[in-house]
Structure 1
Amino acid sequence: MEKTGRLKQKYSKASKLYKIDISKDDKSGNAVKLSWTRKAEPYTKDGFPGVYCLRTSHKDLDENTLWRTYTMLTDLESVFRSLKSELGMRPVFHQVTERITGHLFISVLAYHLVHCIRYRLKKVDIDTGWSGLREQLAGQNRTTVSMRCKNDDIVHVRKSSRPEPRQQEIYSALGISFHPGETVKRVINKSSAITNKLKI
């Protein structure tokens, strides 16, 4: 009972919504049964804990349209937050008007590209946020392997790693090759300082 009282004191906002009954043993005085019932009244502040409410002045919008518009706004903010870090769009040190305009143009252009990618993926039921797509595709890398031959020539082989099934599904929806970029082999001859570039 003492522990229950401490929990009610610690979580006072939640405890006032419930009625807790504790049954004790007559001989030992220990608790043998604990039961609770919800006592919050409907249509009150405490009756809907965790409910998210949206308020708008647009009376012509129905509930579904309003919710889609709101989620589109949060998604837009999430994409721009990601682009600012990935493309180095923040912080902004421009002071000349033309440079500021160019910065905004690149930002909007990048978002349009993201929107086109996600639109094509949604058509095949791949509805994932931009950050989620980046995380899924981050597992495939472009790797360069360098090797030294017996004659001191250096061979560089650059190729993409093998994509996972989920990555292949995304590439197929976008019409992109599973192995972006070609496998390129460069041979550097130390004696003549000649570089031979071969595409495999």
Structure 2
Amino acid sequence: MTWDIFTVVGTIAFAISGAIVAMEEEYDLFGIYILGMITAFGGGAIRNLLIGVPVSALWEQGEFFTIAALSITAVILFPQNLLRHWPVWGNFFDAIGLAAFAVQGALYAEGMNHPLSAVVVAAVLTGSGGGLVRDVLAQRKPALLRDEVYGVWAALAGLIIAVGGAETPAQLIILFMFITMLRILSYKYSWHLPKRTVKF
């Protein structure tokens, strides 16, 4: 039940996030649906490949495809005069998707009795994989690979779940809200990770 809740939340948030990016890049309607779907399901597909789940499992999630399609349609039908606020909402939905899918991915890997490292990797890939694919297809610098704090929050969620720090539904919801808040704060206040460059 908890896994399904986070899957629904993540699917809606990332489908909307992908649609917003597609609209910002002036994609046509077909492109908006495609990018929204890829953003919603890309991270889970990558995770499944790496932790040994058949890719065909993705096609068994018919109800989630319907949820994603309805979410994208809602974005397309959103009043035009309110669209100027979407860059802010895009980051908000991206933060929700990151947190929800990071928790969901960690729970998925833990349920398969994978070690701590696999749980953390599953959280990172599920939480940020869809956004990574979205940014690449939209020809943007992926947030996961920049110095901006992004994938670290997904890894933190995976680590907390792997060590037993969040087990009950209430604890998982608190963890989801905590990771969402950290992601929002990191882009609001421009938090950055240390970086090292090479100049020739």
Is the strand fraction higher in 1 or 2?
1
Is the helix fraction higher in 1 or 2?
2
Same topology, TM > 0.5: no
* Structure ID, larger Rg: 1
TM bin (shorter chain): under 0.3
User: Relative contact order (C-alpha < 8 Å, sep 6+): which is higher?
Assistant: 2
Report the TM-score, using the length of structure 1 for normalisation.
Answer: 0.26
